[in-house]
């Protein structure tokens, strides 16, 4: 199984982040996101984390990261510093770390990035979609005319999103 998630911001102890997500503090948010991740992801699943994995407390953030199930591919976000890149590369469950990637699923090609990126439009309809996060929007189809699907935790109640769910959502939109 393949899953996607973005903008977990583990250990980012700012109330403007965790309060709108429905948490009283960062500890409750971290705990809930870990539980949600591990409740759907199996140890041998592939997980693409599309940036902003953690902030502030790198030691706790790395403990959290290494307790998440799956083979994790990290697409770097705006808060993923050079120091964090080195830490991510040392984690036993991190497969690779890069700025962007792409995968194919069925007839679709998905460009994976932290920032929303226009890959197709109604003027040039092709079987391409961008999977991204960054905006903290609750909308799964950000800029729908440009084929951008949002996998940030804010849009999926903190859960990773399966490729099957993404394909179903796209097909239900009629793209």
Average pLDDT of the chain is: 93
pLDDT of residue 81: 92
Mean pLDDT calculated for residue range 101-128: 85
pLDDT of residue 175: 62
Q: Which domain holds residue 108?
A: 2-173
pLDDT band for 15, please (50, 70, 90 cuts).
confident
d(CA 1, CA 46) in angstroms, rounded, equals 6
pLDDT of residue 152: 97
pLDDT of 12 strictly over 80: yes
pLDDT of residue 118: 86
Tokens standing for 51? 């940036």
pLDDT of 121 strictly over 70: no
> For the chain, how many structural domains are there in total?
1
Give the pLDDT confidence of 61-109 residue by residue, as tens digits: 999 999 999 999 999 999 999 999 999 999 999 999 999 999 999 888 9
pLDDT of 164 strictly over 90: yes
d(CA 58, CA 86) in angstroms, rounded, equals 11
- CA dist 32 → 23, 24, 27, 98 (Å): 9, 12, 9, 27
| CA Rg value for the chain | 15
pLDDT of 123 strictly over 70: no
pLDDT of residue 143: 78
d(CA 102, CA 130) in angstroms, rounded, equals 9
Residue bearing the bigger pLDDT, 155 or 15: 155
Query: What's the angle, vertex CA 108, arms to CA 102 and CA 111, rounded to 5?
Result: 25
pLDDT band for 122, please (50, 70, 90 cuts).
low
pLDDT of residue 16: 87
CB neighbour list of residue 86: distance below 8 Å, 6 or more residues apart: none
Tokens standing for 42? 């199996």
pLDDT of residue 141: 93
pLDDT of 45 strictly over 90: yes
d(CA 74, CA 99) in angstroms, rounded, equals 8
CATH number for 45: 3.60.21.10
Is the Cβ–Cβ distance between 102 and 110 less than 8 Å? yes
């Amino acid at each position: 199984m393949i899953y996607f998630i973005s903008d977990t911001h583990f250990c980012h102890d700012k109330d403007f982040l965790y309060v709108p997500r429905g948490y009283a503090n960062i500890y409750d948010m971290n705990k809930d996101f870990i539980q949600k991740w591990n409740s759907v992801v199996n140890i041998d699943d592939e997980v693409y984390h599309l940036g902003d994995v953690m902030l502030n407390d790198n030691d706790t953030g790395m403990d959290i990261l290494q307790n998440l199930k799956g083979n994790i591919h990290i697409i770097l976000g705006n808060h993923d510093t050079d120091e964090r890149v080195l830490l991510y590369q040392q984690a036993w469950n991190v497969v690779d770390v890069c700025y962007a990637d792409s995968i194919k699923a069925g007839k679709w090609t998905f460009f994976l990035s932290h920032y929303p990126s226009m890959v197709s439009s109604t003027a040039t309809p092709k079987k391409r979609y961008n999977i991204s996060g960054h905006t903290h929007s609750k909308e799964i189809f950000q800029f729908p005319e440009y084929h951008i699907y949002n996998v940030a935790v804010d849009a999926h109640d903190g859960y990773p999103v399966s490729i099957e769910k993404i394909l179903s959502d796209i097909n239900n939109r009629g793209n």
